[in-house]
Chains A and B, each alone.
Chain A
Amino acid sequence: MSEMPSPVLIIGDTQLGKKTVVNAKKKYKSYYWETVSATSQSCDEIRMLSGFQHFGYSKKVILITEIPNRKQTREFICDLVKSSNQNLRFVIWDSSGQIKIDPKKGINKTWQDWINSLKENKLFVLVNNGGDFSENDQRDSVNYTKSLFEKRKRIIDNTSAKLFVDLVGKNRSMISSEVNKLCLTAPETITKEFILNSTFPSSKEAVLYKFGNDIDKDYRSAIYSLENYLNLGVNANVLAQIIMSKARWHLIICHLFSQGMDWSSIRNHILGMGKFPSCVWNNDQLSDSKRKVLSSNLNDTDNLREFMTKSLGIPDKYLDIEEPKKKSTSKSIKRGEVIPMPFMADMMISYARDFVFKSNRKKINDSNIKKELLNRAIEVYLSCSDNLKQIRYSTEDQAECLHDMVRIWTNPYC
């Protein structure tokens, strides 16, 4: 076994930090591990515990946890670790996440200076488990996910890795633990379907998506899921909004179906809806990647103005809109509601086709079915809308209104 480094500083994600500590305890089990808290224990006490000799053990590790954001404590730790020797090792673990790691700027100056002074110790080792990825990040989180799968000898492409991050969220330890879990059963090449079937949705959006998915089932399962989310403390408004949004998309789907569109065309159509600008997203001549690049450029108001005047030929004066009184700090355009991921569109189509359409096909003749489905979708939409109003403006019968919304949504019959 190699010699244990000292001092070791563990920073970044606290759950991954915990794992690092557990692994270190296993690796260096011949040492006696003494855990101290730099917040609740005094410097004198920590100094005493470091200085103690032990019955039964000749070597020990002092694991310093809960480092407070205090200059005196930082200086004390710097001084304490200087007493490292063959029989006394130090591990400093930022268990309370005081050292924030900004995805762009890194560690702030105060903590960086402290780390630099710890580096003066010959055997210093820094274990940086990294902080959470920023909300806007795409690349780093996807790369991190891919690297975790690759370490476990699994192949995953960018799209599937992105889908995985969308479902799990941007928390590093959640990603790591979900990868570990998935790799127990994962095939060598990981597909989108495998991710969809096996990943537990834990990001905020994905959890809500799960509720949306649950209510597409039978009444009993839908009510069970509703009660579950209410018990977990999810706001009734949020749940009502999800059902409302589903009712809105369902109405659009039924409308398109009544217009004679087939199910796969409807799917593609709704995926393009709400995406701005429509002239880019609905242009069949453009590839998906080109659409993304173009729409991303046009997200800026100045670029959009130039595009509308120069490419579309709209006179400049038509665009002289009065400036808002308070200038918004963000120059990005507010977007309409979109379906964030293709599989969600598949779910919606599946609800309309396999649940509603199939349930009514035997009862209603072919000539009337499209009209009846549209009528049902309108009724569902209006009833859900009424219930949403009740939930928003009254707090007394929120659960009752939600039950009513679920009842309407899960009754497939026209």
Chain B
Amino acid sequence: MKLAIDQKVLTRALERGAMAALSDEAQGDTSSFSCLIKSVKITVDENFTVESGTNLLSSKWSIGATKENGFDVKEKGTILVPAKELYDWTSKQVKSKIVLTLSLLKTPEVIKTGDDDMDYGSGQATSIKKVGSLKLVSRDESKTGNKWNLDCYDYGQLNSVDFSKAPKSIITIPTNQMEDALKNVAFSSQPKDYQHIFDSVVLEKYGGSVYLAASDTHRCSIYKLDQATGIDDEVFTETETDGGKTVFGQKILMPSVFVKSVSKMVEGPEISVSYDESKSKVYLDMGEWKVRVTTIDSAKFSKFPSVACLMVKTYNKLGSVPKKILSSRLVSASLVNSSMVLFNFNKDNDDSVVIHAISETGHAPNVSNAPVNNLVKDIKAVWGVKHIMDVIKVIKDDDVHLMVPDDLRSVKIVSEEDKNLQYFSMAIDSPTYSSFFQED
């Protein structure tokens, strides 16, 4: 294989096609196959295809290998090379033309990655075939550049995902809306959940609309994907509520960290989502770029809060607090207790909210107040500081619009600027603030 390629094009291709090999999971792999898992497969024929895969994520990026796209192909072929090394080197050859040349060994070299003596029946004893080396040459406008070599393994050892066998699309989401939705909901998911339920985002259909939601069990962000099209009603069934009964429809869970990375890099106008329930795989099709993520068995994520259950609950308007003031008061209160504070909404006190912060760590209590527009009633509730601060950061409104149910067990924050966003946070039952409730 021999070709010349623009540095920008190669970097773009590796960022997307080698996404799986560059992921933390692949880079942290210590198995006998780590060499292969950390490698990216590049195929040059009529197209330039970059692909990589792990158990959790597979990615494939392909475009025509034409001069217009920045390619000058001298010889077709396929290589399998370490992804991180190739990506790191490429990203540093700014504004260069890069020449990739495969130099094959006369006889493949066998790299032993496991030892028979150490193989306690795990089948880990294996060997990887090194078939040659990839010569990398860069040259920039100054007619000077850099040369490097990378080991090239037998590409037959890496199984490719056949994206042509992906199930048919069940929903198509405009890229801009997906990006907006993730920005507004993904912060509510847990950074890591060993069951991979609460570190994911979910797609759920309710009341004729599709919602993207995330939750860490204490809070839940919901974003209505009102521009989504091509919804397959047969597969993507709707959750229905009838009185107290809920009949759950099809939920699709996707690991938040991967979907966020995809949405940041996607260039096409829309993302098509398909779902293989039997194999627990979600396919994302973005034209040149295709991604497959592994999700958990749908039976196991029944505990993920249902959008329908939250939407069906009645929340009444409480009032709105100027965002800047509320943010400033919460920052001050968090000097004493960065976890939870008591909000005392009081109509008698010129429609204001008094925020009490009491700590068990020895700090003196902190009290602040803020005006409330159109306060409906007097309430007292303990809410998480971080939970309110996080949503303040994403909403574009000048005021934070608060709503509460009759039982005061949670708070709902809505945005007037972006009606698609709804945010729910559970109230806290804490003896630290019990004295305020005893007054009543």
Task: Name A residues whose Cβ lies closer than 8 Å to a Cβ of B.
Answer: 32, 42-45, 47-48, 50-57, 76, 83, 224
Measured between beta carbons, the chain A residues less than 8 angstroms from B241 are none
Considering the chains assembled together, what is the distance between the CA atoms of A224 and B359 in angstroms?
Answer: 60
Are B426 and A44 in contact (CB-based, < 8 A)? Answer: no
Are A56 and B303 in contact (CB-based, < 8 A)? Answer: yes
Are B218 and A51 in contact (CB-based, < 8 A)? Answer: no
Is the CB of B220 closer than 8 A to any CB of chain A?
A: yes
Of the candidates B215, B305, B428, the one whose C-beta lies within 8 Å of that of A48 is B428
Considering the chains assembled together, what is the distance between the CA atoms of A45 and B428 in angstroms?
Answer: 11
Measured between beta carbons, the chain B residues less than 8 angstroms from A83 are 431
Considering the chains assembled together, what is the distance between the CA atoms of A54 and B305 in angstroms?
Answer: 9
Return B315 CB to nearest CB of chain A, in Å. 15
Is the CB of B361 closer than 8 A to any CB of chain A?
A: yes
Measured between beta carbons, the chain A residues less than 8 angstroms from B310 are 55
Interface 9-mer from B22-30, B95-103, B336-344: B336-344
Query: How many residue pairs at the A-B interface have CB separations less than 8 Å?
Result: 68
Are A44 and B217 in contact (CB-based, < 8 A)? Answer: no
Measured between beta carbons, the chain A residues less than 8 angstroms from B338 are 42, 44-45
Return B44 CB to nearest CB of chain A, in Å. 42
Measured between beta carbons, the chain A residues less than 8 angstroms from B431 are 47, 51, 83
Are A44 and B359 in contact (CB-based, < 8 A)? Answer: yes
Task: Name B residues whose Cβ lies closer than 8 Å to a Cβ of A.
Answer: 117, 215, 217-218, 220, 303-305, 310, 337-340, 359-361, 382, 384, 409-410, 424, 426-432
For B310, the closest partner residue in chain A by CB is A55
Measured between beta carbons, the chain B residues less than 8 angstroms from A54 are 217-218, 426
A/B interface sample: 8 pairs, CB < 8 A: A32-B217, A43-B360, A44-B359, A47-B340, A47-B360, A47-B430, A55-B217, A56-B215
Are B426 and A48 in contact (CB-based, < 8 A)? Answer: no
Given the known interface contacts A44-B339, A45-B339, the answer about A51 and B382 at a Cβ–Cβ threshold of 8 Å is yes
Return B59 CB to nearest CB of chain A, in Å. 31
Of the candidates A32, A48, A57, the one whose C-beta lies within 8 Å of that of B339 is A48
For B304, the closest partner residue in chain A by CB is A56
Are B339 and A42 in contact (CB-based, < 8 A)? Answer: yes
Given contacts A44-B361, A55-B215, A224-B117, 18 further A-B contacts (CB under 8 A): A32-B217, A43-B361, A44-B337, A44-B338, A44-B340, A47-B339, A47-B360, A48-B384, A48-B428, A51-B382, A52-B384, A53-B410, A54-B218, A55-B305, A55-B424, A57-B217, A57-B303, A83-B431
Given the known interface contacts A55-B426, A56-B304, the answer about A48 and B340 at a Cβ–Cβ threshold of 8 Å is yes
For B426, the closest partner residue in chain A by CB is A53
Measured between beta carbons, the chain B residues less than 8 angstroms from A76 are 360
Considering the chains assembled together, what is the distance between the CA atoms of A45 and B303 in angstroms?
Answer: 24
For B428, the closest partner residue in chain A by CB is A51
Considering the chains assembled together, what is the distance between the CA atoms of A53 and B359 in angstroms?
Answer: 20
Of the candidates B220, B340, B360, B384, the one whose C-beta lies within 8 Å of that of A55 is B220
Measured between beta carbons, the chain B residues less than 8 angstroms from A56 are 215, 217, 303-305
Measured between beta carbons, the chain A residues less than 8 angstroms from B409 are 53
Considering the chains assembled together, what is the distance between the CA atoms of A56 and B307 in angstroms?
Answer: 11
Are A48 and B303 in contact (CB-based, < 8 A)? Answer: no
Are A51 and B361 in contact (CB-based, < 8 A)? Answer: no
Considering the chains assembled together, what is the distance between the CA atoms of A184 and B382 in angstroms?
Answer: 53
Considering the chains assembled together, what is the distance between the CA atoms of A47 and B424 in angstroms?
Answer: 20
Considering the chains assembled together, what is the distance between the CA atoms of A316 and B431 in angstroms?
Answer: 78
Of the candidates B218, B303, B337, B424, the one whose C-beta lies within 8 Å of that of A52 is B218
Measured between beta carbons, the chain B residues less than 8 angstroms from A51 are 340, 382, 428-431
Of the candidates A43, A52, A224, the one whose C-beta lies within 8 Å of that of B428 is A52
For B359, the closest partner residue in chain A by CB is A44
Considering the chains assembled together, what is the distance between the CA atoms of A47 and B409 in angstroms?
Answer: 17
For B432, the closest partner residue in chain A by CB is A47
Measured between beta carbons, the chain B residues less than 8 angstroms from A47 are 339-340, 360, 430-432
Return A18 CB to nearest CB of chain B, in Å. 14
For A32, the closest partner residue in chain B by CB is B217
Considering the chains assembled together, what is the distance between the CA atoms of A224 and B427 in angstroms?
Answer: 62
Considering the chains assembled together, what is the distance between the CA atoms of A86 and B340 in angstroms?
Answer: 23
Measured between beta carbons, the chain B residues less than 8 angstroms from A57 are 217, 303
The 8 closest A-B pairs by CB, nearest first: A55-B305, A48-B339, A51-B430, A51-B428, A43-B360, A56-B303, A48-B340, A44-B339
Are B430 and A48 in contact (CB-based, < 8 A)? Answer: yes
Measured between beta carbons, the chain B residues less than 8 angstroms from A52 are 218, 384, 426, 428-429
Are B429 and A53 in contact (CB-based, < 8 A)? Answer: yes
Return A115 CB to nearest CB of chain B, in Å. 22
Which one of A52, A53, A56, A224 has the greatest number of beta carbons of chain B within 10 Å?
A: A52
For B302, the closest partner residue in chain A by CB is A56
Considering the chains assembled together, what is the distance between the CA atoms of A51 and B431 in angstroms?
Answer: 8
Are B360 and A44 in contact (CB-based, < 8 A)? Answer: yes
Measured between beta carbons, the chain A residues less than 8 angstroms from B217 are 32, 54-57
Considering the chains assembled together, what is the distance between the CA atoms of A244 and B245 in angstroms?
Answer: 79
Measured between beta carbons, the chain A residues less than 8 angstroms from B215 are 55-56
For B385, the closest partner residue in chain A by CB is A48
Are A53 and B430 in contact (CB-based, < 8 A)? Answer: no
Are B361 and A42 in contact (CB-based, < 8 A)? Answer: yes
Considering the chains assembled together, what is the distance between the CA atoms of A298 and B382 in angstroms?
Answer: 73
Considering the chains assembled together, what is the distance between the CA atoms of A54 and B361 in angstroms?
Answer: 26
For A35, the closest partner residue in chain B by CB is B194
Measured between beta carbons, the chain A residues less than 8 angstroms from B427 are 53
Considering the chains assembled together, what is the distance between the CA atoms of A240 and B215 in angstroms?
Answer: 60
For B384, the closest partner residue in chain A by CB is A48
Return A241 CB to nearest CB of chain B, in Å. 25
Considering the chains assembled together, what is the distance between the CA atoms of A50 and B339 in angstroms?
Answer: 12
Measured between beta carbons, the chain A residues less than 8 angstroms from B305 are 55-56
Considering the chains assembled together, what is the distance between the CA atoms of A43 and B362 in angstroms?
Answer: 11
Considering the chains assembled together, what is the distance between the CA atoms of A76 and B431 in angstroms?
Answer: 12
Return B191 CB to nearest CB of chain A, in Å. 13
For B362, the closest partner residue in chain A by CB is A72
Considering the chains assembled together, what is the distance between the CA atoms of A115 and B314 in angstroms?
Answer: 46
Measured between beta carbons, the chain A residues less than 8 angstroms from B340 are 44, 47-48, 51
For B305, the closest partner residue in chain A by CB is A55
Considering the chains assembled together, what is the distance between the CA atoms of A48 and B433 in angstroms?
Answer: 11
Return B358 CB to nearest CB of chain A, in Å. 9
Return B359 CB to nearest CB of chain A, in Å. 5
Measured between beta carbons, the chain A residues less than 8 angstroms from B218 are 52, 54-55
Return B122 CB to nearest CB of chain A, in Å. 15
Measured between beta carbons, the chain A residues less than 8 angstroms from B303 are 32, 56-57
Return B112 CB to nearest CB of chain A, in Å. 14
Measured between beta carbons, the chain A residues less than 8 angstroms from B220 are 55
Measured between beta carbons, the chain A residues less than 8 angstroms from B304 are 56
Return B185 CB to nearest CB of chain A, in Å. 14
Return B239 CB to nearest CB of chain A, in Å. 14
Considering the chains assembled together, what is the distance between the CA atoms of A82 and B362 in angstroms?
Answer: 21
For B409, the closest partner residue in chain A by CB is A53
For B309, the closest partner residue in chain A by CB is A55
Return B215 CB to nearest CB of chain A, in Å. 6
Considering the chains assembled together, what is the distance between the CA atoms of A48 and B348 in angstroms?
Answer: 29
Return B362 CB to nearest CB of chain A, in Å. 9
Return B403 CB to nearest CB of chain A, in Å. 17
Measured between beta carbons, the chain B residues less than 8 angstroms from A55 are 215, 217-218, 220, 305, 310, 424, 426
Measured between beta carbons, the chain A residues less than 8 angstroms from B382 are 51
Return A252 CB to nearest CB of chain B, in Å. 33
Considering the chains assembled together, what is the distance between the CA atoms of A42 and B305 in angstroms?
Answer: 28
Return A173 CB to nearest CB of chain B, in Å. 20
Considering the chains assembled together, what is the distance between the CA atoms of A52 and B386 in angstroms?
Answer: 13
Considering the chains assembled together, what is the distance between the CA atoms of A42 and B338 in angstroms?
Answer: 9
